[in-house]
């Protein structure tokens, strides 16, 4: 059986570079992805992501703006450690934090499989529509990285062993 992969774009398009994940999803709609890959724009409705993950996936790839203090537009690939999240922690159904999504998923008995985050260092998270030039320039490389991950090859990005979501 072929693996099932969910690629989830998250972020608020009204907060400039926070819309990175949503913009990558738009570009992925025209990409050559394997048939076992589902892409979805969750925007700020990440609680829906938790419910969609209840169906179970072998791999979940999150696309999001991820501030780490690097130059704007820098892409990173992180493997999230969702086992360390405690189900007893409080869950805000309106929260936008991915850790709350995985706590809710664990509480409901779901499994996101291996969780990867393709992140982009934002230049601006202030109110406004549209990505900064640095982040917009990183979108094609993020599309290539997701496509390579979906086909089972390793993208040319910095890789950390694990990270909290």
Q: How many domains does the chain have?
A: 1
- Sequence length of the chain is 165
Here the CATH number for the domain that contains residue 94 is 3.40.50.1450
The confidence score (pLDDT) of residue 3 equals 58
* Averaged pLDDT, 50-58: 84
Lowest mean pLDDT among 30-39, 46-55, 81-90, 155-164: 155-164
- Which domain range does residue 72 map to? 5-163
Q: 70 or 87, which is more confident?
A: 70
Distance CA 115, CA 113 (A): 6
pLDDT range class, residue 90, cuts 50, 70, 90: very low
SS3 helix, strand, coil % of the chain, rounded to 5?
30, 25, 45
Distance CA 79, CA 153 (A): 15
pLDDT tens sequence across 122-162: 999 999 999 999 999 999 999 999 999 998 866 655 443 33
């Amino acid at each position: 059986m072929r693996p099932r992969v969910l690629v989830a774009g998250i972020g608020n398009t009204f907060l400039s570079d926070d819309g990175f994940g949503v913009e990558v999803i738009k570009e992925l709609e025209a990409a050559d992805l394997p048939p076992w890959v589902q892409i979805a724009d969750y925007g700020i409705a990440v609680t829906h992501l938790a419910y969609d993950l209840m169906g179970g996936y072998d791999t979940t790839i999150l696309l999001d703006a991820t501030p780490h203090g690097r130059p704007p537009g820098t892409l990173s690939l992180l493997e999230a450690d969702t086992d360390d999240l405690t189900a007893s922690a409080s869950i805000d159904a309106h929260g936008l934090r991915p850790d709350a999504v995985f706590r809710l998923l664990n509480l409901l008995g779901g499994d996101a499989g291996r969780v990867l985050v393709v992140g982009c260092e934002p230049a601006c998270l202030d109110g406004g529509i549209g990505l900064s030039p640095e982040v917009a320039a990183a979108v094609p490389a993020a599309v290539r990285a997701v496509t390579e991950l979906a086909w089972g090859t390793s993208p040319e990005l910095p890789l950390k062993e694990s990270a909290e979501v």
